[in-house]
Structure 1
Amino acid sequence: MNFDFHYYATYLAAIIAGYSHEESSEIAYSAQFVDCCTRTFLTSIKAPLSSATTQSQVELINARADLLGLQDITRIWSSFHFLPQDLYAEKKWCTRGYRNKYRLICGPNGDLLVETVKLAKGKSLESVGLAMHVLADTWAHRNFAGTPSLVINNTDYYFYEIFSGDTGEFEKKITFRHSTSTPDDLNRSIYTNSLFQTSENSIMNLGHGRAGHLPDYSFIKYKYLPAWGDFTEIVKDNPSDYYHAFCQMVYAMRYLRGNISSFDKDTYDFEIVSPYEAQIKEIINKRQIDSCADWKALGEKISGNIIDDFDVYRYKDEYLAARKEAKDNTVLGRFFVAALRQKSMVTNKIYKSGNMLAGFSADFAEKGFVGIKDFKKLVDAATSGGEKHD
């Protein structure tokens, strides 16, 4: 999903779920910060590099192309942006290598989503925001995998946009180009995607790069033939998916606040959101590249407060000024702990399923601290009873 949904729509969902303006703002910041927390940023403030939740284009271009490099990429993108839907999915007549990639395909309402939401229970607001980013992306990024793979993530010439007209639906063939400096042309259905590379493990074949920004546009409905689906036509209805994502975020955050006792799959707070349904769907269906202004206006109208513009450096000084022993209780410090916890959980689940695409993982609950020193923060947090929050 794009900035507009991760920041402004998440703020609105938090408000509807019952959080205060201040709490919702912190949740929204962390939800968007998932797309900003690169190793480059972490290096600039001397923060734990293992808490990276994304990679910049430069970092990806310079990423190692060997097994360890690919595992590092998979740990980040599968944990935070392409959460696997079913780590035990079956696929007949295929190699184990292909099946392992197939099992990393993202989708909503998987067991890992439940684990992600429950992992944030009783934790910081930063943990809530991070979980909402992951939840939202399971809807936008469904059918793609957070590991480089031509066979899983590639698209071909059969790609059509579906429009609704006075006499019903009609289709228009989508044209892809590779000019990253040219905006997508919504009027002519011309979109930018990653450059085709025949190498199975090229970073050009990571996630939905071959489908460009289409999965991140709320208004679009399209169909295509993914290779992993045996070239059976798949229709992706983003307006429906995005509304489900919004209502599921409200439901998840009501659970995290303690308003309800459980978080279950395929459950949505349609009734609570219903007073705002028409306004939300109008924004979701509006054909525009950037919906920030509309989401911001609606959020401010409902909350009665001004939503600050997102500033990636908003909490940088607080983190830098904090003493070493107090850094983990700053906004960024709590986010880093939440990121380490999420990455550890997902990587461990992938590893336990017999899939080595995200590398080796030790279970902290069973074996204690093993390996990268950054992750000792998780043991310290557990020993101290969790994060504090001012």
Structure 2
Amino acid sequence: MGALADQLYLLIGIGVLGLLLIVGLVGTAVRRRPRGSGADVLARPDTDEPQVADAGGGAATATAEAPTLEPTLEKPEGTASRLVRLRQRLSGSQSGLGRGLLALLSRDRLDEDTWEDIEDTLLSADIGVAPTQQLVERLRTRMRVEGADAASPRDVLREELINLVDPTMDRRLQISGSDGKPGVVLVVGVNGAGKTTTVGKISRILVAQDKTVVLGAADTFRAAAVDQLATWGERVGVPVIRGAENGDPASVAFEAAKAAVDGGYDVVLVDTAGRLQNKAGLMDELGKVKRVIEKQAPVTEVLLVLDATTGQNGMIQARVFSEVVNVTGIVLTKLDGSAKGGIVVAVQRELGVPVKLVGLGEGPDDLAPFEPEAFVDALLG
């Protein structure tokens, strides 16, 4: 009996020790679980590092050593290839104007009816009344005075069209700041003209020129615009400064300029809201954006984006924006489609500033510097 009692006491003792050990382990696990972590954060038995639960219910340790895949950055096209495509696209869509004018000027007899037809052809191309009258007068004078000694109708027309487009205008983008500050490009225009897309495409042009760029998504009233700009930036490795939806656009613009200054970037591009309810509201908004940016660095370029297919509606928009901000350059989008090439002449005359860039399609690099000679050659086929 004594031996049996001893064995019973031994078994009871082992059971108690086992129970105590289990209770101790459970208490330790509970104490090591992060507060408020819920079911998504677990604790490994051999470390205090949190884990993030994966979709299958397992756990993946969040450690600094975890491999990360770098996004593949796109290599934007250079200026030369853009200009080649500019000529090809324009010659395919705009040459009807040139062919019509050449057919009229090549007639054996240039009577009043012919000159009226020439004038009507130019007006239908959205060139505008005053530029059309000027061009017709120049053509009439040269064809009458030079007569048989005149160059071919094509050469005469080419020279006069180039003069009308004005090759003396400075079409360079002003992207260089002073005193070590970045260049600041403010991009304005109504929604629907392709403003946000244009900002993204300009960033690609600058990246191709080895410039470092910051994008400011100050069109805070359209979440789609902010997301769209973020995508453009990701594709070429350009940082995008964004704020809260419906937040203060000026605040975003300020932070973008500050990031460019602090980071030593070359250029900051700021996309602005394109709402056009009334001129006073637009003036207040854009004026504030410009003022707060210039607390960090002066604005070096204000680009107005216009949809080339809108014709006279585009001219009305151009007038409003020129009264609100000091526009220094024009970007014409959608010039490859149903747009009439004369809008280039009309908008330059209206604002007194040059067309600097033209959009030729929906591709990421379908934005090219505007060259008067290439444009006129495309018109003439």
TM-score range, shorter chain: under 0.3
Normalising by structure 1, we get a TM-score of 0.24
Whichever structure has more strand as a proportion of its residues is: 2
